[in-house]
Amino acid sequence: MKLDTSIQLGSLRMRNPVTVASGTFGYGPEYADLVDLNKLGAIVVKGISPEPVKGNPPPRTVEVASGLINAIGLQNPGARGFIETYLPFLRRYDVPVVVNIWGRTTEDYEHVAEVLGAEEGVAALEVNVSCPNIKEGSCLFGTNPEMFKRVVSGVRAKTAKPMIVKLAPDLYRVREFAVFAEECGADAVSLINSIPAMAIDVETRRAKLGNITGGLSGPAIHPIAVKMVWEVAKAVKIPLIAMGGITRAEDAIEFLLAGATAVAVGTANFTHPATALEVVAGIEAYLARHGLASVRELVGGFRP
Amino acid sequence: MKLEETRVIEHREIQGGYRLLVLLAPVIAPQVRPGQFVHLRVPHLEAAVLRRPFSVYDARHDRISILYKDVGHGTGTMKYLHAGEALSLIGPLGHGFPMCGEGHIPVLVAGGYGMAALYLGARQSPVKGVAFFGGRTSADILCVKEFEALGWEVRVSTEDGSLGSRGMVTEAVDAWLQSDRGDSVPEFFACGPNGMLKAVGDRAIAGGWTAWISMDRHMGCGVGACLTCVQKIKTPDGGWVWERCCKEGPVFECRKVVWEEKPEA
C-alpha cells in the first residue's frame, strides 16, 4: 500500500507533516550539511522584522530539566538582509519556505508581510504574535484581542500567500485567540510558542539569562502543548501546526491525534539534528503498522 | 560538518579530575583542523536537551581525543562512559587557529585544560616555539611531556607555586617577552579563561603582535542556528556585531574582540 504523507495548510502543500519550529533551525544553511532539507515538509526560518535587530545580551539560553529557556531577543538580519543573504540559498531547494515575521507595531507587521510575501521562494508567512522575549509590541499583540485582530487582519490584507498565526501559549485564552485568527483570515494556526519562564543562580542570586526571563521549550512542555492543541482543534476549522517538545515520532503522532494537521520539531534540532527526519520515518512506520493509507486519517483521531 | 555515531575506545583519568576520552570517529577525525571543536551528546543524560562542546585535543587517522574536566552536570555523567559505548558527535565545528605567520615564533598560552585546544596546532606547526602552561596548582598542568615530545619548550607556572614558577601564566609570558629574544616576532595562540585571553591580547596589542584567542562561550546548537554563543566583535566603522563563537569563532584575533565583562556585585 502506498503511504500518503502529504498534507495541506490552506494553499500550502507539504510532502509530509513535519517541519521545524522557528528559531531552532536558523535560516536553512546552518543545518544543511546535517539534514537533507528536501526531505522536510517545510522549513520555518527564524523570525524576521523589517529592520535588523541585535537581540538580547548573553547569556541567552539556559538548560533546565528536560528543557531550554531562551531569551535570544529575536536577533535577525531584517527583511532585506534575509532576502539577500538567505533566500537565494533556500530557493535552490525543493522545500516550502515559511518565513516567521514579527514587528513592534502593526505597520511593522504589514510592511514585512508585504515585502516578504512578494518574494519568490517564500511559500507562506507565520505571524509571530507571541514571542516572550520582546517587551513592547510582539507579546502584547498575542494577548490583547483588539491588537491581535488588527495585526492579523493587517497582514492578511498585504499578502495572498498562506498565513499561519503563531499563538501565545495562554492556558486559558488560547482557544479564543485561535478563533480570532480564523475570523481574521488565517489559513492555519501554530502552537505552542515557548512558555514564559526563568531560572535563578542561587549562588550569585542573579538570573541565569541576560534578559532575566525567557521562553521554555523542550520535552518539559510537551504534555501542556498536547492539551492546548486538543482544545484549539475543537474550536476552529482551520488546520493546526503543533509544536512543543517533540523528540520522537510518538510525540508527533500524539499531536496529530489531538487534532493537528502538521507538526514542528524545535529544541530537539539542537539535541539531535536528525530528529525531524526520524519523525517522518516514524510516522510512516506507524501508518503502515496501523494499516492507514494517509497521514490525514490520523488527524483528530484521539478517542476521549 | 558531519553527524556521526562514534564509539568510545579509551577513557581514563589523567590526573586531578582531568580525563582523556578517545573516540573512533572515522568520518569526523580526518577533517579536524587545529582549534576546532566537536559537539557531543552525553549518553545517559536524558533530561539534557543540549549537547556539550569540547575542543579536539588530537585527531589522528580515525580517532579523536578529547580532554576534559569533571566540572558539571554533563561532564559529571560523562566520566562513567566506558569503552565500546556509542556516542553521537557533530563536528568538526568552528573556525580554529590559522598557521603561524612566516618568520614568526609561535607562542602558546594555556590556562588549565586550555592546552587541549592547542595540541593539534602544536603538532602540525612546522615551526616549534614556546608554550606557557598556567594553572592554580600542579594538578592543573597537563601534557607537558606531550608538547615537549613535539619539540616545544614548555614553561609552567602555577598560582600556588607547586609546579614551575609561582604566579599567573601571563607573568611567565612577560618574563619571556622581556628576556633577550633577538629580533624574533612572537605570534600568540591562546586558550583559557577570559581574563587570561584578554591579558594575552593586551600584551600583543601593546607589542604590535598578533594574538589568536579561542573564546569559550556558553553554547547551544553548535552550528550557528540558535545564536546563544554570541560575542561582540568590532566592525571597521567603529561599531560592533554579534559573531557566533561556534561559527565565526571560537578563534578570533584579539583586536576584534570587544571585552565587556559584567561587573560582579
Tens of pLDDT along A24-65? 999 999 999 999 999 999 999 999 999 999 999 999 999 999
- Report yes or no: A242 and A260 within 8 Å, Cβ to Cβ: yes
Arithmetic mean of pLDDT, A178-187:
98
Q: Which residues of A touch B229 (CB under 8 A)?
A: 58
What's the CATH code of the domain at B41?
2.40.30.10
Do B220 and A58 count as a contact with CB atoms less than 8 A apart?
Answer: no
Do you find a cis peptide bond into B250, omega within 30 degrees of 0?
Answer: yes
The overall pTM is greater than 0.90: yes
Q: Which residues of A touch B226 (CB under 8 A)?
A: 23-24, 26, 61, 70, 72, 270
Q: Which residues of B touch A269 (CB under 8 A)?
A: 221, 225
Q: Which residues of A touch B88 (CB under 8 A)?
A: 272
Q: Report chain B's mean pLDDT, rounded to a whole number.
A: 95
Determine the residue among B49, B215, B230, B262 to mutate to test chain A binding: the one whose Cβ has the most chain A Cβ atoms within 10 Å: B49
Q: Which residues of A touch B242 (CB under 8 A)?
A: 54-55, 75
Phi, psi angles (nearest 5°) of residue B156: -105, 140
Are B42 and B80 found together in one domain? yes
- B175 inside domain: yes
CATH for A7-56+73-194+217-297 (3.40.50.170, 3.40.50.460, 3.30.2010.30, 3.20.20.70):
3.20.20.70
Question: Which pLDDT tens digit goes with each residue over B83-115?
Answer: 999 999 999 999 999 999 999 999 999 998 899
User: Would the pLDDT of B264 be above 70?
Assistant: no
Secondary structure (3-state) at A45:
strand
Determine the residue among A30, A72, A251 to mutate to test chain B binding: the one whose Cβ has the most chain B Cβ atoms within 10 Å: A30
From the list A70, A28, A19, the residue with the least C-alpha distance to B50 is: A70
Question: Which pLDDT tens digit goes with each residue over B16-36?
Answer: 999 999 999 999 999 999 999
Are B53 and B111 found together in one domain? no
Are B108 and B184 found together in one domain? yes
A76 DSSP 8-state letter = B
What percentage of chain A has pLDDT greater than the value 90? 91
Determine the Cα–Cα distance for residues B120 and B152; give it in Å rounded to an integer. 13
Q: Which residues of A touch B47 (CB under 8 A)?
A: 65-66
Partner residue opposite B50 with nearest CB, options A58, A65, A270: A270
Do A72 and B228 count as a contact with CB atoms less than 8 A apart?
Answer: yes
- B44 inside domain: yes
Q: Which residues of B touch A54 (CB under 8 A)?
A: 242
Whole-number pLDDT of residue A138: 52
Do B49 and A219 count as a contact with CB atoms less than 8 A apart?
Answer: yes
- B244 inside domain: no
User: Would the pLDDT of B68 be above 50?
Assistant: yes
Q: How many domains, chain B? A: 2
Cell of A156: 492578511
Q: Where are the beta strands (DSSP E) in chain A?
A: 7-9, 12-14, 18-20, 43-48, 61-64, 67-70, 97-101, 124-128, 163-166, 188-191, 195-198, 200-201, 206-207, 213-217, 240-243, 262-265
Residue B247: closest CA among chain A residues belongs to which residue? A30
Do B226 and A61 count as a contact with CB atoms less than 8 A apart?
Answer: yes
Are B74 and B161 found together in one domain? no
Shortest alpha-carbon distance between residue A66 and chain B (Å)? 4
- B245 inside domain: no
Long-range contacts of A276-279 (CB under 8 A, 24+ apart): A276/A18, A276/A19, A276/A20, A276/A35, A276/A40, A277/A18, A277/A35, A277/A36, A277/A39, A277/A40, A278/A248, A278/A249, A279/A18, A279/A246, A279/A248, A279/A249, A279/A251, A279/A252
- B262 inside domain: no
Do B228 and A218 count as a contact with CB atoms less than 8 A apart?
Answer: no
Partner residue opposite B227 with nearest CB, options A60, A66, A273: A60
Do A72 and B224 count as a contact with CB atoms less than 8 A apart?
Answer: no
- Residue B7 structural domain: 2-93
Confidence tier at B206 by pLDDT (50, 70, 90): very high
- B25 inside domain: yes
Do B49 and A31 count as a contact with CB atoms less than 8 A apart?
Answer: no
What percentage of chain B has pLDDT greater than the value 90? 91
Shortest alpha-carbon distance between residue A85 and chain B (Å)? 15
Torsion angle of alpha carbons B217, B223, B226, B228, nearest 10°?
0
User: Would the pLDDT of B70 be above 50?
Assistant: yes
Do A66 and B47 count as a contact with CB atoms less than 8 A apart?
Answer: yes
Question: Which pLDDT tens digit goes with each residue over A191-209?
Answer: 999 999 999 999 999 999 9
Determine the residue among A270, A272, A275, A278 to mutate to test chain B binding: the one whose Cβ has the most chain B Cβ atoms within 10 Å: A270
- The C-alpha angle with vertex B31 and arms to B26 and B37, in degrees rounded to 5, equals 100
- Report yes or no: A206 and A200 within 8 Å, Cβ to Cβ: yes
Are B82 and B179 found together in one domain? no
**Of the residues B93, B126, B150, which one is the last residue of a structural domain?**
B93
* Catalytically active residues of A, by annotation: 131
A205 CB-contact burial (10 Å; exposed 0-12 / middle 13-18 / buried 19+): exposed
Name beta bridge partners: A8: A13
Whole-number pLDDT of residue A136: 56
- B239 inside domain: no
Cell of B65: 581525543
Determine the residue among A45, A60, A100 to mutate to test chain B binding: the one whose Cβ has the most chain B Cβ atoms within 10 Å: A60
Residue A32: closest CA among chain B residues belongs to which residue? B1
Shortest alpha-carbon distance between residue B217 and chain A (Å)? 9
Q: What does the domain layout of chain A look like in residue ranges? A: 7-56+73-194+217-297
Do B50 and A63 count as a contact with CB atoms less than 8 A apart?
Answer: yes
Shortest alpha-carbon distance between residue B228 and chain A (Å)? 5
